[in-house]
Amino acid sequence: MSFSIKFNDHELCDYLRVVSIRRNIGTTRTNNTVKSGDRAGQIFTSMTRDMATIEIEFKMKNNLIEKRRELAAILNVTEPAVLILGDEPSKYYKAIPDGDISPEDQNFLSSVTLQFVVPDGLAHALDAKQFPFQEEDDETVIENRGTTSAPLDIHATFLSDADSIGFTNDTQTVQFGTTFSEDESENEFVPSERVIFDGMGPTYRNEWKPNVGRPRFKYDYGEGSSRVTGKVRWLESKVRITDYGSIKDDDPGFWHGPTLTRNLTESLNNFTAYFRFKMKPGGKRKNRPKSQGLLEINLMDADNNFVMGFGLKDNDPNKASVMYDFFIGDHRVFRGHLPRKVLKYTTGIFGYVEMSKVGNKFSFKLCHLKEGFRENWSVKKTYLNDSVAMLSFKTINFYGAKWKRIRDMITEWTSTTITKINTEDDSLVPLVFYEGDELFVDGQNNHVYINGIRDDNYRVIGSSQFLTAPVGKTAYSVLTDGNVEGHYEMREQYL
């Protein structure tokens, strides 16, 4: 009889035959007690659960050395990964190998005992269940058929502007946005205004002008100056560079590619600008490190002076190495390199950069996104600059380029959002929601995202930190001063 054990998307039973699996009933329990005076015995105070362990005994036959190497590569993880056992195919564990794995060899047969540690001590349902929000005054009933409480993810789309939103059951209330108490005046806060909410699809095409923008890198560098040439293609929800222009064999080396430019209807003294993008190599995996690319996002004033900017560049043809730069005015204020945990995702990046200016404070956030727009890595920097603070933001300029005839990167811009901040004190900016905003609350990790941007500050202080579903049926209500649609999402959990 065959048996399946999948770890991190690899089938271990392609290499091994299962002899036995040892799992405890639940997890190790520790009861905490205290001695009280002359009272007999002790007083129970609390109970804690430890992590769980799973031991799997295998047999390996033939090609032992080759199988050992392949198994070592599969098990070489640095964080818990998904483990699915064949006798419970609808559940998974977040597990990581533990201890020594020491096969006992006898000729062409080897016995192996493999131990996995499950830090949270739980099994999780492989399939998530969704529970739509009900109409106003109606409650959403969530039935948890697991054996312990489960965190709830929240997905909400705002159909109108709103100051706040809350989600509540009989024992919990979590709130997001800005709420005002009876002794607090809403007028103390200065509302912001969203001036651009651009999905970068064909609907917005006429707002952008091709090849009229100014690159930042080597703009005036003689024969080696960066060139503006080439074309883009407007797809359903993104703009992709499809042509970087031509270059002759005897031309000097230079970067070349198209620009996209959009002018705002007014200049902004204080703002937050959000851009989602992709710069990744294509083709076969072995050729990807050979790709090179340059991506720029620059914010300009009405006289074409730089206010803020961001750049990505891969100029190493021998390995995957991508540097990123933050600029204020004409000067680079920071340079870093994407870490390995980002580059392992096909050696490039899909993510976003957020640039903001409030008074003389300039802030940057660069983030790599995984599937589902989940943050995998981010870096934040803030600087003060009095001279550039005098400039106002009027124009957005994108630039994507390749080096000479070297293999290019896939370069796309997928979202642009610009918000006008009507104060020079960012503590007076209310965290509110606009029509079209998408709120996602990751219940498992307790993270809050607005339109794919993680911002835990949206959680109202004093409300519950988590929204969970206890075992059985529980009713939930949505409380907001706006209109929303959405759903709760739950993966049942088992001790």
Please write the tens of the pLDDT for every residue from 214-252. Answer: 999 998 888 889 999 999 999 988 999 999 998 877 778
Is residue 155 scored above 70 in pLDDT? yes
Which tokens sit at 464?
């519950």
What is the chain's mean pLDDT, rounded? 87
Average pLDDT over residues 457-481: 89
Is residue 345 scored above 70 in pLDDT? no
Is residue 394 scored above 90 in pLDDT? yes
User: Is CATH 2.40.160.20 the right assignment for the domain spanning 5-125?
Assistant: no
Is residue 136 scored above 70 in pLDDT? no
Query: Minimum mean pLDDT among 8-17, 104-113, 363-372: which range?
Result: 104-113
Choose among 482, 476, 495, 378: nearest CA to 154.
Answer: 476
Is residue 143 scored above 90 in pLDDT? yes
pLDDT, tens digit, 9 for 90 and up, residues 287-335: 777 788 999 999 999 999 999 999 999 988 777 789 999 999 999 999 9
pLDDT score at 1: 42
Residue-range domain boundaries for the chain: 5-125, 129-189+430-494, 195-427
User: For 195-427, which CATH class?
Assistant: mainly beta
Place of tokens 């794919």: 452
Is residue 183 scored above 80 in pLDDT? no
**CA-CA distances (angstroms) from residue 255 to 87, 95, 258?**
56, 46, 10
Q: Are 491 and 125 in contact (CB under 8 A)?
A: yes
- Write the DSSP symbol of residue 342: H
pLDDT score at 263: 96
pLDDT score at 347: 66
pLDDT score at 101: 63
Is residue 281 scored above 60 in pLDDT? yes
Pair type for strands 104-106 and 52-61: unpaired
User: Is CATH 3.40.640.10 the right assignment for the domain spanning 129-189+430-494?
Assistant: no
Is residue 342 scored above 90 in pLDDT? no
Average pLDDT over residues 450-456: 84
d(CA 230, CA 233): 11
Average pLDDT over residues 375-387: 93
pLDDT score at 39: 73
pLDDT score at 141: 95
Asked whether the domain spanning 195-427 has the same topology as the one spanning 129-189+430-494, the reply is yes
Choose among 248, 262, 242, 241: nearest CA to 400.
Answer: 241
383 compared with 181, residue with greater pLDDT: 383
Average pLDDT over residues 183-210: 83
Dihedral over alpha carbons 167, 169, 172, 174 (to 10 degrees): 0
**CA-CA distances (angstroms) from residue 359 to 269, 379, 422, 431, 465?**
8, 22, 10, 18, 32
Q: Are 245 and 251 in contact (CB under 8 A)?
A: no
pLDDT score at 110: 75
pLDDT score at 125: 95
pLDDT score at 182: 52
Polymer length in residues for the chain: 495
Among 148-152, 216-220, 337-341, the range of highest mean pLDDT: 148-152
Place of tokens 């058929």: 145
pLDDT score at 329: 96
222 φ, ψ (degrees, to nearest 5)? 65, -140
Sequence-ordered alpha helix ranges (H) in 9-76: 64-75
